Structure 1
């Protein structure tokens, strides 16, 4: 196979790469070398250089390997879309005969087999051709005529590098509504006619926003869903994106965003970015939002989102640094957002959180618990926030259900070589939690296994607090009870 720069290439185990250099390198003599930029960057060994000589600079750093063109792990062939259709849907004898459509087809292949082949194609509404080494279209009128009912086409992880070859296929399939091009890499672009496609998937293609705006999105003015995850987009890239007017779903997960983008889309996937800032956005018309695996570290972000997105109905936000305790996370989120029972139709408020459907009981319990924690000073919220005022108004008729006066006990902590310290503890705190608090506040985060807690019953009986799962209330403790620390 003769290679050209920017050709796409595959290994026998379906690992894809782009040919970025063709020539010789000193240590291999006259052997033809290929400089490959791997789609899976971790397969790379360098940045396009060998022994101090730079042959090219890859798009993704350290994604390059130099390999001999005769390497047996490389698949030294490419195929066309039409060729693959014939291989998948025509009988083997027809393929081997290499018969073209026309009178000779009828004569040598037979009417019955030809009609069966055409029927198979005409019945197709969805076609998946991923990892088929396709790099071009080719033309066969009968093939495309018989694919007239096709609405979904997957061409992901093939060897396309010229978007024009894809358009040659798409333009001959006017009924097509969903196109998956994930995992291809495009380096050649050209203008083309518009198409009524609704769903376009371009994830892991590294297509630039400039090429999206100029060469791809104008072709699909009626697009309602766009998937562009894993393309290394920055905040500036997304701000410069010219989205179709009818777009409803946008997936920009697995990119490099740090700021919540100014994108008013009904369904938005921002997961697996580095978002922690929301300062650029004040109002959102989002109903479904995915913020998993970002860098959200404060409840001020949550409170902002609650007010900025009043129509939010579905939210995924777990796996952020803010949420280390899943139970606390769920309670705080339910209380800070406007929620409703998932049975309530129509849905106008948050009814699905981190994959779980909400119920009225769960919502009310979380809100009441949250109010009590805020009034005890354990949870923080701006007392002027609309949601806080809403909660106070909502539960005003039922103050007795809010546990804002929990049972406390004052204990005197006696630390060796230090003055005694008095501190309030909740009676329902576990001994494990008590030791953790004392370690953090008074013992410089000493391991709880390195010290003991005890008190005296009737001044003579020494009682150790050693059952980590028990709570203070199970012990006979009096107000201002002396608790002693022993780490000898």
Structure 2
């Protein structure tokens, strides 16, 4: 057998691509340098003893190996052979047994009392072949399809070419109604082989070629009628993907995930309305700026990339603005860690109505710093993440596949305004301009809901308190016994007291032992909570039909946050920063 670079092979079910044919220094005989689809299967990257023999497309360290040409490979299949093996196995078995002879017992009907009960020979095979003609969805992924014929992918003689033409006609006659075809993870490697199959399927609209490895894109090929194309994990460069998009004149949906793409460097066909670029290596929205020229783009998925910024850090770049036709954007599971990114999204995507953005490090941060909230730092809750995101985006109607109700928006905007008010209160007046610059919707929200109450540190008391005085080092604690609402006792204690000392004080005030109760600080902070007790590990859902992705829902309300003062040697001043008074509930245990 002849071997060629870019030819596909399968050994013991492991797919690979030939990248080199020839000698290897220090050894005898010829070798095939192959790149395995599964990079953990290999031993190197195409280099041996300091000499590079081939280059792998995968960026992993060990996708390559050398194998002998004599090593037995798995048998490739032609398109119809794979089709019949999966969907008409009786036909394949009968062909393998030598055909249908007159003495073939399968051709004889089964009789009882001279009556035919079941005929299992030709009629059953004819029924299966008739079913092939009705097939609309065909899945041949992983069945080692090499092309129209099993020998495709290697150079053919003129005689073989005549046989190929007959095989093409047979495809048209055998399965003329196929509308969706999947020949992913197979042995096909040349675009003309794909073209010859598709050209005989006039009703074909969806083509999936995921996980294959193709040679150079061939000029002059046209794939008529195909509207949806999947090329995930094919390791094609963006330039190759761009060229291919113009060879599919009816193309509206293109999926090119897991292709190591780090930049959209050239335009693609303007017919595309849906583009899926998931799990690539894109690090900023500026890297996909050429997609802004697509006038019909409606859905863009950039899930699972490395996006952290709108533009590249340290560069002065023109603003990016996508077509108003783009309504759905998926930015989930990237590296977004700043609210400033969220604030700019309406400018970048002026038509944005549906956004998915969960799974980013931004949502592992506190809603604000301790000096603003007077609370220990902890990651924001599911509801806080949902509220603070929708409050910054006035036009979106769906967040993480959950419909945003008027009540959701009202609650979110009020909560967001309250946090801005706390931030303004925590800093002097001359810092106000810089703070409001971080909240571009502040003026709009104030017009809608009214301005938040701002009480800066110097305004909280009628007279200034010397920070070195005893008064500045004391905090008033109002204790309330939960079992007796009217039992309230007040004490001023040093901020340096720890929880143990406070509990000792409570023990004396109420005649309790320290192990009988726990202390809960009733704050003035409002938390959005849902009536339903939802799990907080996930705040979105891909199930659009179930409607479970609405993190807030119609039953959302606000409750005051409570913080348990756990037994600790930490000063209570850490919990009660900048507070002159705090309400502490004494809860009896057991």
- SS in structure 2 opposite 1:219? coil
CA contact (8 A) 1:225 1:249 kept: yes
Q: How does 1:20-419 map to 2 (within 5 A)?
A: 20-25=19-24, 29-30=28-29, 32-61=30-59, 62-69=61-68, 75-88=73-86, 89=88, 91-96=91-96, 112-113=123-124, 115-138=126-149, 139-190=167-218, 191-214=220-243, 216-235=244-263, 238-242=264-268, 244-260=269-285, 261-262=288-289, 263-264=291-292, 265-279=297-311, 280-285=319-324, 286-324=326-364, 325=380, 326-338=382-394, 349-377=395-423, 382=436, 387-396=441-450
Cα distance in 1 between the residues matched to 2:32 and 2:255: 32
What's the counterpart of residue 15 of structure 1? 14
CA contact (8 A) 1:369 1:403 kept: no
> Structure 1 residue 312: deviation in Å?
2.0
> Structure 1 residue 358: deviation in Å?
2.7
Cα distance change on mapping 1:384 and 1:77 into 2, 3 Å = closer
CA contact (8 A) 1:174 1:196 kept: yes
> Structure 1 residue 180: deviation in Å?
0.2
CA contact (8 A) 2:343 2:440 kept: no
CA contact (8 A) 1:372 1:404 kept: no
Cα distance change on mapping 1:120 and 1:468 into 2, 3 Å = farther
Cα distance change on mapping 1:241 and 1:468 into 2, 3 Å = farther
- SS in structure 1 opposite 2:441? helix
Cα distance in 2 between the residues matched to 1:424 and 1:36: 73
Cα distance in 2 between the residues matched to 1:40 and 1:390: 53
Cα distance change on mapping 1:148 and 1:395 into 2, 3 Å = same
Q: TM-score, normalised by structure 2?
A: 0.63
> Structure 1 residue 250: deviation in Å?
0.3
Cα distance in 2 between the residues matched to 1:180 and 1:200: 6
What's the counterpart of residue 439 of structure 1? none
Q: TM-score, normalised by structure 1?
A: 0.74
Aligned length: 428
Cα distance in 1 between the residues matched to 2:28 and 2:146: 31
> Structure 1 residue 366: deviation in Å?
1.4
Cα distance change on mapping 1:169 and 1:375 into 2, 3 Å = same
CA contact (8 A) 1:38 1:63 kept: no
Cα distance in 2 between the residues matched to 1:163 and 1:98: 34
CA contact (8 A) 2:141 2:184 kept: yes
1:457-476 Cα offsets, whole Å, 9 max, x none, are 59x98999999982166999
> Structure 1 residue 310: deviation in Å?
3.7
> Structure 1 residue 91: deviation in Å?
1.6
Cα distance in 2 between the residues matched to 1:258 and 1:222: 30
Cα distance in 1 between the residues matched to 2:125 and 2:440: 69
Cα distance change on mapping 1:310 and 1:209 into 2, 3 Å = closer
CA contact (8 A) 2:328 2:355 kept: yes
- SS in structure 2 opposite 1:169? helix
- SS in structure 2 opposite 1:377? helix
Cα distance in 2 between the residues matched to 1:309 and 1:466: 57
Higher mean alpha-carbon deviation, 149-158 vs 61-70, is at 61-70
> Structure 1 residue 4: deviation in Å?
2.6
CA contact (8 A) 1:409 1:426 kept: no
Aligned-pair Cα RMSD in Å: 4.4
1:73-101 Cα offsets, whole Å, 9 max, x none, are x743211112212323252454226769x
CA contact (8 A) 2:37 2:63 kept: no
**Rg: which structure is higher?**
2
| 1:470 has 2:520 as partner | yes
CA contact (8 A) 2:305 2:333 kept: yes
Cα distance change on mapping 1:24 and 1:76 into 2, 3 Å = farther
> Structure 1 residue 172: deviation in Å?
0.9
Cα distance in 1 between the residues matched to 2:92 and 2:28: 43
- SS in structure 2 opposite 1:149? coil
> Any unmatched runs of 5+ in structure 2?
101-106, 108-119, 150-166, 312-318, 365-379, 427-433, 479-494, 524-563, 566-571, 583-590
- SS in structure 2 opposite 1:376? helix
1:295-327 Cα offsets, whole Å, 9 max, x none, are 212111101003432432221111212111333
